[in-house]
Structure formats: C-alpha cells, structure tokens
Amino acid sequence: MFNEKELSRIIRNEGGVSRRFFMAYSAALASLPFLGVRASAADRKVTFASNPFTLGVASGDPDATSVVLWTKLAPKPTDPDGGMKPEHVKVVWEIAEDEKFTKEVRTGTSIASPQLGHSVHVEVEGLKNDRWYWYRFRAGDATSPIGRTRTLPALNAEPEKLNFAFVSCQHYEQGLYTAYEHMMKDENIDLVFHLGDYIYEYPNNPKALARVRAHSGPKDRKIQTLDEYRERHVQYRLDPALHGMHAKCPWFVTWDDHEFDNNYANDISEKKGVDPIQFLIQRAAAYQAYYEMMPLRKNCLPKGPDMKIYRKASFGRLAEFLILDTRQYRTDQPNNDGIRPLNEEALKPTNTLLGKEQRGWLQKSLIASQAEWNVLAQQVMMGMAQLGKLKDTDEGLYSMDQWPGAAQERMDLMKFIQDRKVPNPIVLTGDIHSNWVNNLHVDDRQPDTPVVATEFVATSITSGGNGIAKPKMLDELLKANPFIQFHNRERGYVRCTVTPEKWVSDYIVVEDVLKPNGKVVTRESFVVESGKPGAKKI
C-alpha cells in the first residue's frame, strides 16, 4: 500500500488527476480484503481481553432471500485499532427463525480483516421471503448481542402493508438519540432508511449553542484520515440507542455530505484552492470508513475514491425504493453555493446532482418498475422552495446545494416521471434539519400546473439541537411557495405506513433532545391516496 505522500507524488508525476492512476489505485485497494485470506492465521485461537462486540450488530440491504449481517470486532473501541492486532480473525455467524436459536437455519464463518478495521459483512443467502430472523456472531469465546432482521416479500408478491421509518442528520454533539430509543419500542417499524449525515466531520466545538456531548478526535480541524473517520464512526455507534436500533431491523443507508466533508461536490471541496487529488485521497478514507461501519453488500466495497452506493430495493409489487447518491457525481454548486437566485447559472442544463450514469439507471429503473409506489430515497430537498428574496430586485432565492442548484435536471426528472406515467412517485429526503411535505410540480414556481409527485422531508435526529414547531417566517414561506403543505423545525423522524390504497407519513417529533427522556409526539400525519399525487393532512 502507498502512504498518502507517495500517492500524491505518483499522481503529480503523472501530471494531474489521472483516470489511469485511480484505476490502478482502485484495483490495489479492492484486491486487498477478500482475496487470499489464509485460514491458518484466522484459525489461531483468539482470546479477547474484553468484549469485542462493543459496537453491537446490524443488518441491512435485505432482498427477498438474503440480507447483510454486520459487526466489527473492537474490544477497545476508542483505540485507533479497536484493540485488535493486525491479523485476520475468524468470526462465526448464526441465523435462526426464533430469538432463542432453537430453529437455526444457517451458520457459517467470515473473516474480520485488519484492512477493513475488523468489520464483518456477511451476505446470508437462501432465506425465506418476508419473515423475521434473529442472528448473532461468535469470535473466540465471545458472543455478540442478538440482532433481529427480516427479508423482503418475493418480487412478485402483493404485500398488503409496509411499515418503515426514515431518518437523517444525527450530529452527536447537538443532541441525544432519543428518537432511536423511541423507534426501538415501536413494533411498527420493519425497516429504516438513513438518508445521510450519519456522522459529522467537525472538530469538538465547545462554543456550539446546543451541545450535550463532545466529538473526540482533532480539536482544531475537521477529521481527514482513515483512522479519524473510523474513530468518529465508532464514537457515534457506541451510543446504545443508535446500535440498539440497528439491532432491531435492517437498515438501508445512503450518505450525504458530512460522512466526508460539508457540501462537497464530487472532487470539489467547498473551500477554495483544495487540491482535488488530495481531496479524493481523503474521500477514499471517508468512504472506506463508511463502508466498514455499514451493513452494506460487498458490491459497495470502495474502489479507491469511488464507491457505488446507489441501488434499488423491491418490497414485492407494493413499493420500489431507488436509493440515490447526490454527492459523488454532482457538479459544483452554481453561484458559489449558498442561497441564490434561480438564474442562468443555476438553470444551466449541465448542472447535475445525479451524474449521467446514475440518471440513466434511475430512468431505466423507473420505467422497469412494476410497483404500486415508486420511491426515491435521497438526500437534498427537491421542492424548489423560495427561501427569501433579494432586497433590491425582489428576485427569489433558492438553495444551490439542493435540487434548485440543478434545477433543469430536477424539472426534467419530474417531466420524465409525468410523461412515463410512473405510478405514485414519492420522494424521501433528509439534509435540511426540518420537516416538510411538498406537492411537487415539474416546475414548483408554476403552482397551477399538475402535481406530479409527493415529497416527504424528515427533520434531523439531533442536528441543530432543539428546533421550533412554528418558525417565524412560516406564513411568508407558505405564501411564497404554495406547493409546500407543511413545514416545522422540530427534531425527530418520519414513520410511513404503506398499503396499495394509501401512503401515510407520521411526523414524529422529540420535544427536547438536550435532556434524557425527551417527550415524543406525533406532530402531524399526511396521506397520499394511490393514483392522486399530493399529500393531505389527516
């Protein structure tokens, strides 16, 4: 393996960002963990000074017959190496039809490798459709906590119901994970979608207004190295409510910006003058740490600075989820980012959040889908919300980091959905640390045109500390943007109940995230009836 200095030198000698270099680097990285594992090393009898399962267990990306089981060996989780020697360790996994493991259906072994921080990603195949399972791991003489997971219905099944929750933005310093504590008790959550900002890359900030606990790691700068990204992920996952909720049901995760760096766009930093090569080297570290910590399939394994995370999941013929990545392939935010007019720069047809390949895949998936509900699970708000006005000209201002920064691509996507008559399009969104329900038009500035899709935006789990139910500018906001049905700035999550006839989204809020046992209430509920895009308050 090259170290960072060597990498940088090699790339510079090749004269700039060389695709060839990254292919070579990618191949080198990708060949490491899963090939040539020597059983002899892994078979050595391991003993741990203390419990190696401090980070709990997780599962994810189920389909009708398989699911990913995850854990990471870390007897000393806050040490850089987790308290592990640089050796392969054999880990036994078991999956059963019952919590007591009397009906074990499958067992096997996997290798926790030092290259991947002794994380374990097992893809268990050959399971029955649409049912719950329980799983655990063993390493040496230690046994992990038991996790619960499930498969999805068969591709051609016509399920009567789907219950899930979606979340985003869980800044560790700015609040407690009370939302997850509550979700753990909710038997009506079968799946969780995490739409990004799983960690934040910022240093420990004693001056932050809302702060209930402190980031570990560097004090004077953001995290940058693989070890630092790993340490940050570990700090978050040590929270019992977070790993507790991971153990309750499978998650589908995707990232936004803070898993790597605020408001990044592909290889472009928000900071001027950052060398794109250095930035991609850092991205490789961030993406690897993310892969290590998440219950993702092996086909997500990063190749150097690239990691394909956009993918789909089918809940029988009831719902098709298209999980997007609007960071890795996007063009730079127009107008120097920020809140800006929807001018020529913002409307440039070359601006993209998806990139050509993902956009093609998305269009293909939308026309191929046989599902009743077609769901984009993604990061930034699609509703073209006018968030303010320029003082002199009265021109509306929009967020350049969100879909208005690629307004043409956004409008073309809605037009595509409208023209192809994609059934019941729903957009799920995170990032913005506030709750929104939006009735989406091809162009949201034209409220008299037909509603094409419905967007549910979930607020943050903690980011921003305690919010408010009725923001000051609410009336103005709603007046300027008739497509917005609901907006609120409390913390929490959204729980969805989906049947062939209707989609219900419950906006569940935690009234205080700065103290333990914050009160949890359902603030509002909205329904979309099949065949009628647009949400109504219940």
* Strand pairing class (191-194; 162-167): parallel
Residue selected from 431, 455, 490, 506 as contacting Ca ion according to rule CB under 5 A = 431
Tell me the CA distances in angstroms from 538 to 45, 128, 507, 510, 522, one per residue in order.
59, 36, 11, 20, 12
Contact 402, 337 (CB under 8 A): no
Smallest separation, CB 461 to Ca ion (Å): 13
Q: Residue 257 binds which entry of Fe ion, Ca ion, none, with Cβ cut-offs from 5 to 8 Å by kind? A: Ca ion
User: Does 256 interact with Ca ion (rule: CB under 5 A)?
Assistant: yes
Binding segment for Ca ion among 92-100, 193-201, 273-281, 386-394 (CB under 5 A)?
A: 193-201
The conformation of residue 305, written as its DSSP 8-state character, comes to T
Helix (H, G, I), strand (E, B), or coil: what is residue 5?
helix
Smallest separation, CB 104 to Fe ion (Å): 41
In single-letter form, the type of residue at position 423 comes to P
User: Does 259 interact with Ca ion (rule: CB under 5 A)?
Assistant: no
Smallest separation, CB 173 to Fe ion (Å): 13
Tokens of 78: 């806050």
Binding segment for Fe ion among 24-32, 117-125, 193-201, 382-390 (CB under 5 A)?
A: 193-201
Residue selected from 418, 463, 466, 505 as contacting Fe ion according to rule CB under 5 A = 463
> Percentage helix, strand, coil, to 5, in the chain?
25, 25, 50
**Residues 162-181 as x/- pattern, contact with Fe ion by CB under 5 A:** -------x------------
Residues 6+ apart with CB under 8 A from 426: 373, 374, 375, 376, 453, 454, 455, 456, 503, 528
Which residue, 358 or 463, has its beta carbon nearer to Fe ion? 463
The candidate with the shortest Cα–Cα distance to 456, out of 385, 382, 397, is 382
What is the DSSP annotation of 160-178?
A: S-EEEEEE----STT---H
Which residue, 282 or 439, has its beta carbon nearer to Ca ion? 282
Which residue, 202 or 251, has its beta carbon nearer to Fe ion? 202
In this structure, the number of other CB atoms found within 10 A of the CB of residue 521 comes to 11
User: Does 181 interact with Ca ion (rule: CB under 5 A)?
Assistant: no
Tell me the CA distances in angstroms from 403 to 33, 437, 444, one per residue in order.
37, 16, 12
Smallest separation, CB 262 to Ca ion (Å): 7
Which residue, 162 or 376, has its beta carbon nearer to Ca ion? 376
Binding segment for Ca ion among 191-199, 328-336, 391-399, 456-464 (CB under 5 A)?
A: 191-199
User: Does 461 interact with Fe ion (rule: CB under 5 A)?
Assistant: no
Task: Order across the sheet with 491-498: list the strands.
Answer: 119-124, 67-72, 57-60, 251-253, 191-194, 162-167, 491-498, 502-510, 520-529, 532-537
d(CA 360, CA 416): 12
* Strand pairing class (251-253; 502-510): unpaired
Which residue, 288 or 463, has its beta carbon nearer to Fe ion? 463
Tell me the CA distances in angstroms from 527 to 88, 440, 498, one per residue in order.
51, 15, 10
User: Does 94 interact with Fe ion (rule: CB under 5 A)?
Assistant: no
Which residue, 42 or 286, has its beta carbon nearer to Ca ion? 286
Which residue, 231 or 256, has its beta carbon nearer to Ca ion? 256
Which residue, 197 or 306, has its beta carbon nearer to Fe ion? 197
Binding segment for Ca ion among 73-81, 194-202, 217-225, 300-308 (CB under 5 A)?
A: 194-202
Smallest separation, CB 353 to Ca ion (Å): 13
Binding segment for Fe ion among 191-199, 289-297, 323-331, 530-538 (CB under 5 A)?
A: 191-199
Tell me the CA distances in angstroms from 258 to 63, 391, 467, one per residue in order.
28, 32, 20
Which residue, 253 or 417, has its beta carbon nearer to Fe ion? 253
Instruction: Give the interface size with Ca ion as a residue count (CB under 5 A).
Output: 4
Tell me the CA distances in angstroms from 185 to 56, 172, 194, 515, one per residue in order.
18, 21, 18, 19
Q: Residue 463 binds which entry of Fe ion, Ca ion, none, with Cβ cut-offs from 5 to 8 Å by kind? A: Fe ion
Binding site for Ca ion (CB under 5 A): 197, 256-257, 431
Binding site for Fe ion (CB under 5 A): 169, 197, 463
